[in-house]
């Protein structure tokens, strides 16, 4: 189908007063010979929208360039079917007239450059052809604990078929091992029943849920909408097709045998909180050494938690569990004394009320403190030395039993051969430091999903073995599209949180299936129908795309050819940035398109003293930040030309070369924060960009081009006010360095 | 490990403090807001945060030897600001009440004074003694003619009785206070061991403390409840006035030979002082009681121990005033009966002083002297 471009310039919101609209239209009609170019005082109004739609119908316009406000505004008005209409928006309002003086030569030049860049992009864009294949809408739930059970029930209620796989013979997980629960419902004052039995029965009687217990996932192949999962049970195996997966693989208590310094293993009367649940179920808090009922019990909180030598994090359930177990003991024996030695009492949610209630018991004694030692006296009694207590002194208490409140280790964080938690991560980090190599993923072979993905068999871990990808910005999302983590395997939490978590992850799974069926990406580009297209005849099997994709989209054949799985793709374009052969493109976004935009910038002669800088801005934080700068009418240097990117990880080094050979004086890249508290929506895009750009700086030095001409920065949206300063500062550097020597070539 | 303390909580002590009006003590979560807002708390090792923890952990020995519980004048700033509703002011009051019982000698009387079921017996004792003595003297009838109380209960009955009771009371008090002093010396704020000459001790520690007490300067720092300060000041000075009147009369009767000085004429300066004292006592008690009733609405707990004391004092004031009024109105029957009631109540107050809330004036004074002596208040 032939392209027919229509350019529509809006003169509303002050654009008409600040710019020479006719001159701007001239760029389109003369320089680019666009057949249709119109302007209107309010394109976003009914009349304006009708103008554009009328041209589409009558004139056959199939590519529109809307030169008006930011592409982030009025999306409900300028919304066309991307399979038939290509659209590009030129940001004249936020990025031009709101930040630069009206009717000024530089402001007009800026607007005209943006017009050229938009036109070039529009010329090269093609209508999208969504990837569509028959998809299966069954949801696989891995793990039959409280999270898995809730997820299965929620999915079934929402109309999905569910396959539930549990490795143990019985459903229920840890909840089935608890005697009672701390309060989960108002008034949050009394210990309650877990209620897990009725949930298990509900699952068993639900015809939409197929349950495999005593089962194991041998293999998970495929991609969202078409996962083929091989489940083995009782020696036989089934392969089922599912569309999305909720991984609720749960947790294991931290290995108490590592807590010898707290007496575990040295005295039989030092037990764990898990063992206390068993005692409670048996109705007797008998100390293991002689079976005598313990009259005094010391709970040690954070046993192996929030401790650099053990688990560095808080498991969030242990404080409340100890309060609950203290109550078990006191309700059982009104003469018993219970001590709780904590680092900080952390009672999440409404459970501060329960804490207050337990506190009032005259036989429960609480203090902050650091347990120095737990030893045994000849009478099998335990002597606990505690420093830094609230009493302002070092104290000693004697007890007949000590309970260690141990934390949670994600089951998926445990290497099945029995490796130590965290070691793979540390090893990877060390490797990174030693070799200064690219950021490495941590994939712990936990024998949970056994994915047949090129990058590894399980979900990449974020921290401490938990596979969450970013718990604030996109909870439940893992780095494997279509697989959502929930419950204690995602982050430590209690059963109330698990229930919420299960609902969240289940909804995510359903959402994934809906979007996949429409040929769209999942979060964050959840409207996007484009997907990467590989021009395979030029592939050199360098494997950079298959290695660098943060979502494991590519599998690989034996020769090293990438095998894309489009439904796994998040459309971030990091592969596009990685490919040295530049063979990876989207129909509306490619190395060529962006490179052409760079080349479309008019570079004035050196003697005009109007330098040019191209700024690649990530569309997630940096670009919206610049819109805010516009809204706040903060002015900045007019020599900057901004190009939004899906992710800084898209930056292909050829763009830098294009820009420099064109005579552009500097290149600025602004992406999201990376590192431990990263904000990159594609996890490691900005980090990769930084890594790649380090390499190009070496090349620049070799070409006798100052490496100061390229700068990579991180910005989060709340730092929008720094952006003008970043521009001004960079321009100063460019002025110091002087004009690009290739100018005018 | 000499610096490591073995901690053995006493659960019964916790319960006792709860019974004595400190039932909120376990709510404390050690944020120390109380110590920050308290205007009387020393900067070093401030109260009542640590006392709250000791109380919660049942560390009786620390609390009863802690002079800080007596530095508190219960303005309840701490209770007002406590984010957990732990009411440190009430808890310290309960601990002080427990202390009277703890140091009481003989201890059986301490227990009896804190339990309402013993009240009839405790009041019955002076009734029986007085009736018995009056019976022996043949005075069990309402005398005729001008109302002169000596005709009803002769001095030779009243005075030896009260003198004896006072001596016993002082012995008991001295035993209790000595135990208290020694306890404090080994307690949480041990005094410096160097000997201070008695003269210096009095000059440096006793006199300034007494001046503070007379000026009520500590009490004045509590701005949360001005009325409590005024009430206490009135009661305090009324007791001094009434004690002076008693002293003067005693001197007059036995040393100056005014055998028939009573009743004093209304214009007599001593009588004026007595009347002023009585009115001040009545007004002071009225304020205290009305405050307490208001507090009761806010559920701040006043225990039996507190109530019985203030009511006895109140009835002493009322019975004294009414006795005088009925005497002036020539209502012989009423006047003599009220006088009898008045005597019984005065006996109660005096005889049971070391075991009742009244003892706070002694314990607090001793604790303040000790605090000064041990350098607690800098």
CATH number of the domain that A556 lies in? 3.30.70.20
Give which of A323, A336, A391 to mutate to test B binding, by max B Cβ within 10 Å. Answer: A391
Chain A from 548 to 567: CB within 8 A of any B CB:
none
Span A677-691, mean pLDDT? 89
pLDDT > 50? residue A228: yes
Q: What is the mean pLDDT of residues B337-343?
A: 94
Q: How confident is the model at residue B299 (pLDDT cuts 50, 70, 90)?
A: low
pLDDT score recorded for residue A423: 38
pTM for this structure? 0.87
A68 φ/ψ angles, rounded to the nearest 5 degrees: -155, -120
The count of domains in chain A is 5
A90-99, A139-148, A386-395: range with lowest mean pLDDT: A386-395
Do A420 and A513 fall within a single domain? yes
Show the CA angle centred on residue A221, arms to residues A219 and A225, nearest 5°.
Answer: 130
Tell me, yes or no, whether B219 and B298 share the same domain: yes
Residue A523 lies in a domain: no
Would residue A679 count as lying in a domain? yes
Helical ranges in A141-225 per DSSP H: 146-157, 196-205
Chain B nearest-CA distance from A360, in A, is: 5
Q: Is residue B338 domain-shared with residue B210, that is, in the same domain?
A: yes
**How much is the average pLDDT of A7-31?**
96
Residues B205-211, mean pLDDT to the nearest whole number: 90
CB contact under 8 A, B5 and A397: no
Among the candidates B68, B103, B138, a domain finishes at B103
CATH number, residue A247: 3.50.50.60
pLDDT recorded at residue B163: 92
- For the residues A487-513, what does the mean pLDDT come to? 96
Q: Are residues B293 and B172 in the same domain?
A: yes
Tokens 């005295």, located at residue: A267
Identify the residue whose tokens are 């004595």: B20
The average pLDDT across A350-365 equals 95
Are the beta carbons of A243 and A138 closer than 8 angstroms?
yes
pLDDT band at A299 (very low <50, low <70, confident <90, very high): very high
Rounded Cα–Cα distance for residues B10 and B114 (Å): 20
B170 and B117 both lie in a single domain: yes
pLDDT of B223 over the 80 cut: no
Q: Is B29 on the interface with A (CB under 8 A)?
A: yes
**Residues whose CB falls within 8 Å of the CB of residue A589, separated by 6 or more in sequence, listed in order:** A530, A573, A576, A646, A650
Based on the fold, state whether residues A502 and A630 are members of the same structural domain. Answer: no
Same-domain pairing of B62 and B138: no
Q: Are residues B98 and B112 in the same domain?
A: no
Interface residue A385 vs chain B (CB under 8 A):
yes
**What average pLDDT does this structure show over A532-543?**
96
The CATH number of whichever domain residue A114 belongs to comes to 3.40.50.450
Which residue among A76, A96, A128 closes a domain?
A128
**CA-wise closest residue to A468 among A451, A483, A446:** A483
Average of per-residue pLDDT values in chain A: 93
Rounded Cα distance between A61 and A468, Å, is 45
B120-131 residue pLDDT tens: 999 999 999 999
Examine the domain organization and report whether B168 and B87 are in the same domain: no
Q: Give domain status of residue A183, yes or no.
A: yes
Quick one: pLDDT at residue A699? 75
Chosen domain end from B103, B129, B154: B103
Domain at A657, CATH number? 3.40.50
**Residue found by looking up tokens 């935009």 in the block:** A597
Domain around B128: 107-373
Q: Residues A22-45: what's their mean pLDDT?
A: 96
Average pLDDT over residues A4-32: 96
Q: For the residues A187-209, what does the mean pLDDT come to?
A: 97
Query: What ranges make up the beta strands (E) of A267-393?
Result: 270-272, 296-303, 337-342, 364-368, 370-376, 382-387
- Domain match, A552 and A453 both: no
Question: Do A397 and B7 make contact, defined as CB atoms within 8 angstroms?
Answer: yes
Mean pLDDT of B259-275: 87
| pLDDT-derived band at B216, boundaries 50, 70, 90 | confident
pLDDT category of residue B205 using cuts at 50, 70 and 90: confident
Scan for tokens 């290739």, then name that residue: A742
Contacts of B284 (CB under 8 A, 6+ apart): B230, B231, B232, B233, B234, B235, B238
> Which of A360, A363, A394 is nearest residue B3 as measured by Cβ atoms?
A394
Contact B287, B227 (CB under 8 A): yes
Chain A interface includes B151 (CB < 8 A): no
The answer, yes or no, to whether residue A639 has pLDDT greater than 90, is yes
Q: Are residues A325 and A273 in the same domain?
A: yes
Q: What is the DSSP string of A527-573?
A: T-----EE-GGG-----HHHHH-TT--EEE-TT--EEE-GGG-----
Mutate to test the interface with A, among B1, B3, B4 (most CBs of A within 10 A): B4
Residues A120 and A77 both lie in one domain: yes
Burial (CB count <10 Å: 0-12, 13-18, 19+), residue B262: middle
Judging by beta carbons within 10 Å of its beta carbon (0-12, 13-18, 19+), is residue B156 exposed, middle or buried? exposed
Q: Are residues B26 and B146 in the same domain?
A: no
Which one is predicted more confidently, B143 or A58? A58
- Based on the domain organization, do A597 and A575 belong to the same domain? no
DSSP designation for A385? E
Domain ranges, residue A609: 589-745
Provide, as residue numbers in chain A, all residues whose Cβ is less than 8 Å from the Cβ of B3: 393-394
Are residue A655 and residue A709 in the same domain, yes or no?
yes
The last residue of a domain, from among A406, A436, A461: A406
Identity of the residue in B5, B9, B11 whose CB atom sits nearest the CB atom of A393: B5
The verdict on a CB contact (< 8 Å) between A391 and B8 is no
Please say which residue of B103, B118, B136 terminates a domain: B103
Q: Are residues A578 and A593 in the same domain?
A: no
Same domain, B230 and B359: yes
Asked if residue A506 has pLDDT above 60, the reply is yes
* SS3 assignment for A613-632: EEEEEECCCHHHHHHHHHHC
Mean pLDDT lowest among A47-51, A532-536, B330-334: B330-334
Verify that A600 and A726 share a domain, yes or no.
yes
| Domain assignment of residue A600, yes or no | yes
Question: A728: Cβ–Cβ under 8 A, 6 or more apart, which residues?
Answer: A636, A637
- Using DSSP, how many helices (H) and how many strands (E) does chain B show? 19, 1
Overall average pLDDT of the A446-456 stretch = 93
The predicted structure's pLDDT at residue A704: 67
Closest chain A C-alpha to B40 CA, distance in angstroms: 21
Q: Are B127 and B31 in the same domain?
A: no
For B18, which residue in chain A has the nearest alpha carbon?
Answer: A362
| Chain B residues closer than 8 Å to A398 by CB | 6, 8
pLDDT beyond 90 at A693:
no
- Greater model confidence, A186 or B189: A186
Same domain, A594 and A710: yes
Closest partner CB to B27 (pick from A337, A356, A392): A356
Q: Say if A393 is an interface residue toward chain B (CB within 8 Å).
A: yes
Are B118 and B93 within one domain? no
Number of domains in chain B: 2
Q: Give domain status of residue A134, yes or no.
A: no
Contact B122, B309 (CB under 8 A): no
Tell me which range, A508-517, A684-693, B42-51, B74-83, is most confidently predicted by mean pLDDT.
A508-517
Do residue A402 and residue A421 come from a single domain?
no
Residue A419 pLDDT: 33
pLDDT at A437 over 90: no
For residue B239, what are the CA distances in angstroms to A423, B172, B312, B349, B356?
78, 21, 14, 12, 16
| Each residue's pLDDT tens digit, B305-315 | 888 999 999 99
* B173 lies in some domain: yes
Residue A431 binned pLDDT confidence (cut-offs 50, 70, 90): very low
For residues A512 and A542, membership in a common domain is answered with no
Number of H helices, E strands in chain A: 18, 30
The percentage of residues in chain A with a pLDDT greater than 70, rounded to a whole number, is: 96
Which residues of A93-149 form beta strands (DSSP E)? 139-142
Rounded-to-integer distance, Cα A583 and Cα A591, Å: 9
Confidence check: pLDDT of A314 > 60 = yes
Unique residue bearing structure tokens 């806010």: B298
pLDDT at B302: 64
Averaged pLDDT, A289-295 = 93
Asked if the structure places residue B31 within a domain, the reply is yes
Q: Kindly state whether residues B211 and B279 are assigned to the same domain.
A: yes
CB contact under 8 A, A365 and B56: yes
In a domain, B208, yes or no: yes
Position A450 pLDDT exceeds 90: yes
A703 vs B285: which has the higher pLDDT: B285
**A640 located within any domain:** yes
pLDDT at residue B99 tops 70: yes
The answer, yes or no, to whether residue B63 has pLDDT greater than 50, is yes
The yes-or-no verdict on residue A456 having pLDDT over 60 is: yes
Q: Which value does ipTM take for this structure?
A: 0.85
**A406, A432, A447 — which closes off a domain?**
A406
Contact residues on chain A for B11, CB-CB shorter than 8 A: 335, 337, 362-363
Cα dihedral B342, B346, B352, B354, rounded to 10, equals 150
Q: What's the pLDDT tens digit per position in A392-429?
A: 889 999 999 999 999 999 999 888 764 333 334 444 55
What is the distance between the alpha carbons of residues A624 and A637, in angstroms, rounded to a whole number? 18
Indicate if the pLDDT at residue A47 is higher than 90.
yes
pLDDT at A608: 86
The pLDDT assigned to B193 comes to 61
Q: At B94, which CATH number?
A: 1.10.1060.10
Give pLDDT tens digits for A268-288.
999 999 999 999 999 999 999
């Amino acid at each position: 189908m032939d392209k027919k471009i229509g350019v529509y310039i809006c003169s509303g919101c002050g654009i008409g007063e600040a710019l020479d609209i006719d001159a701007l239209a001239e760029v389109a009609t003369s320089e680019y010979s666009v057949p249709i170019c119109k302007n209107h005082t309010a394109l976003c109004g009914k009349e304006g929208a009708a103008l554009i739609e009328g041209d589409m119908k009558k004139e056959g316009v199939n590519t529109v360039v809307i030169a008006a406000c930011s592409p982030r505004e009025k999306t409900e008005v300028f919304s066309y079917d991307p399979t038939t209409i290509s659209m590009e928006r030129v940001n004249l309002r936020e990025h031009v007239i709101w930040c630069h003086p009206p009717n000024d030569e530089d402001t007009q030049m800026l607007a005209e450059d943006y017009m050229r860049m938009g036109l070039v992009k529009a010329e090269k864009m093609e209508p999208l052809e969504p990837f569509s294949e028959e998809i299966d809408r069954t949801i696989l739930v891995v793990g039959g604990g409280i999270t898995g059970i809730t997820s299965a029930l929620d999915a079934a209620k929402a109309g999905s078929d569910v396959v539930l796989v549990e490795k143990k013979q019985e459903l229920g997980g840890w909840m089935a091992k608890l005697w009672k629960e701390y309060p989960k419902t108002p008034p949050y004052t009394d210990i309650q029943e877990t209620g897990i039995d009725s949930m298990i029965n509900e699952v068993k009687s639900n015809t939409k849920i197929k349950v495999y217990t005593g089962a194991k996932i041998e293999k998970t192949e495929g991609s969202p909408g078409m996962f083929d999962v091989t489940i083995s049970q009782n020696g036989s195996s089934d392969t089922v097709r599912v569309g999305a997966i909720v991984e609720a693989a749960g947790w294991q208590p931290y290995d108490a045998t590592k807590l010898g310094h707290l007496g575990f293993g040295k005295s039989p009367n030092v037990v764990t909180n898990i063992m206390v649940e068993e005692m409670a179920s048996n109705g007797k808090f008998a100390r293991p050494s002689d079976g005598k009922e313990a009259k005094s019990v010391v709970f040690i909180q954070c046993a192996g938690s929030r401790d650099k030598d053990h688990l560095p994090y808080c498991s969030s359930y242990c404080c409340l569990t100890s309060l609950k177990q203290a109550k078990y003991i006191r309700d059982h024996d009104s003469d018993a004394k219970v001590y709780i030695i904590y680092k900080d009492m952390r009672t999440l949610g409404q459970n501060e009320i329960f804490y207050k209630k337990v506190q009032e018991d005259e036989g429960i004694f609480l203090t902050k403190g650091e347990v120095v030692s737990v030893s045994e006296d000849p009478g099998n009694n335990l002597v606990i030395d505690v420093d830094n207590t609230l009493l302002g002194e070092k104290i000693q208490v004697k007890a007949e039993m000590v309970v260690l409140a141990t934390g949670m280790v994600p089951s998926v964080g445990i290497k099945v051969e029995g490796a130590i938690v965290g070691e793979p991560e540390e090893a990877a980090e060390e490797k990174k430091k030693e070799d200064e190599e690219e950021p490495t993923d941590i994939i712990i072979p936990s024998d949970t999903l056994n994915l047949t993905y090129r990058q590894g068999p399980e979900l990449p871990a974020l921290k401490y073995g938990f596979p969450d990808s970013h718990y604030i910005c996109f909870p439940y999302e893992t780095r494997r599209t279509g697989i959502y983590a929930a419950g204690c395997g995602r982050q430590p939490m209690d059963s109330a949180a698990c229930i919420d978590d299960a609902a969240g992850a289940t909804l995510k799974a359903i959402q994934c299936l809906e979007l996949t069926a429409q040929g769209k990406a999942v979060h964050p580009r959840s409207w996007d129908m484009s997907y990467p297209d590989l021009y395979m005849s030029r592939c050199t099997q360098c494997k950079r795309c298959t290695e660098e994709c943060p979502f494991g989209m590519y599998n690989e054949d034996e020769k090293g050819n990438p095998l894309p799985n489009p439904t796994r793709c998040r459309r971030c374009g990091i592969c596009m940035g990685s490919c040295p052969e530049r063979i990876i493109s989207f129909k509306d976004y490619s190395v060529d398109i962006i490179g052409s935009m760079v080349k479309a910038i008019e570079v004035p002669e050196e003697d005009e003293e109007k330098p040019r800088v191209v700024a690649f801005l990530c569309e997630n934080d940096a670009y919206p930040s610049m819109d805010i700068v516009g809204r706040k009418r903060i002015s900045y240097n007019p020599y900057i030309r901004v190009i939004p990117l899906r992710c800084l990880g898209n930056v292909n080094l050829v763009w830098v070369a294009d820009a420099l050979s064109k005579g552009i004086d500097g290149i600025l890249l602004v992406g999201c924060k990376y590192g431990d508290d990263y904000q990159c929506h594609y996890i490691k895009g900005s980090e990769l960009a930084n890594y790649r750009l380090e390499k190009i700086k070496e090349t620049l030095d070799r070409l006798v081009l100052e490496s100061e001409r390229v700068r990579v920065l991180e910005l989060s949206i709340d730092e929008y006010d720094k952006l003008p300063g970043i521009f001004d500062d960079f321009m100063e550097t460019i002025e110091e360095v002087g004009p690009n020597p290739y100018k005018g070539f | 490990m000499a610096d490591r303390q073995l901690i053995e909580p006493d659960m019964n002590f916790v319960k006792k403090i709860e019974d004595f009006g400190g039932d909120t003590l376990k709510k404390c979560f050690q944020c120390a807001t109380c110590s920050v807002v308290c205007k009387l708390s020393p900067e070093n090792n401030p109260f009542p945060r640590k006392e709250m923890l000791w109380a919660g952990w049942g560390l009786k020995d620390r609390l009863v030897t802690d002079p800080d519980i007596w530095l508190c004048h219960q303005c309840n700033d701490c209770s007002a600001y406590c984010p957990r509703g732990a009411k440190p002011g009430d808890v310290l009051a309960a601990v002080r009440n427990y202390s009277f019982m703890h140091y009481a000698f003989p201890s059986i009387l301490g227990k009896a004074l804190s339990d309402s079921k013993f009240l009839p017996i405790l009041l019955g004792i002076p009734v029986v003694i007085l009736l018995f003595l009056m019976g022996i003297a043949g005075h069990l009838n309402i005398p005729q003619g001008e109302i002169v109380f000596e005709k009803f209960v002769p001095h030779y009955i009243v005075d030896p009785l009260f003198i004896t009771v006072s001596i016993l009371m002082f012995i008991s008090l001295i035993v209790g206070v000595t135990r208290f002093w020694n306890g404090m010396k080994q307690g949480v704020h041990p005094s410096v061991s160097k000997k201070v000459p008695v003269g210096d001790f009095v000059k440096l520690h006793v006199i300034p403390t007494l001046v503070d007490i007379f000026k009520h300067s500590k009490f004045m720092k509590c701005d949360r409840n001005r009325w409590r300060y005024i009430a206490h000041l009135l009661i305090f000075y009324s007791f001094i006035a009434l004690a002076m009147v008693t002293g003067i009369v005693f001197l007059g009767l036995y040393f100056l030979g005014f055998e028939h000085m009573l009743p004093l004429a209304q214009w007599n300066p001593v009588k004026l002082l007595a009347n002023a004292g009585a009115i001040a006592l009545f007004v002071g008690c009225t304020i205290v009681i009305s405050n307490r009733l208001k507090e009761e609405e806010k559920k701040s707990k006043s225990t039996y121990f507190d109530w019985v004391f203030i009511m006895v004092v109140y009835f002493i004031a009322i019975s004294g005033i009414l006795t005088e009024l009925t005497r002036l109105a020539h209502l012989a029957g009423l006047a003599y009966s009220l006088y009898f009631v008045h005597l019984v109540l005065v006996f109660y107050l005096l005889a049971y002083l070391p075991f009742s809330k009244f003892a706070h004036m002694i314990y607090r004074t001793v604790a303040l002297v000790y605090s000064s002596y041990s350098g607690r208040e800098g």
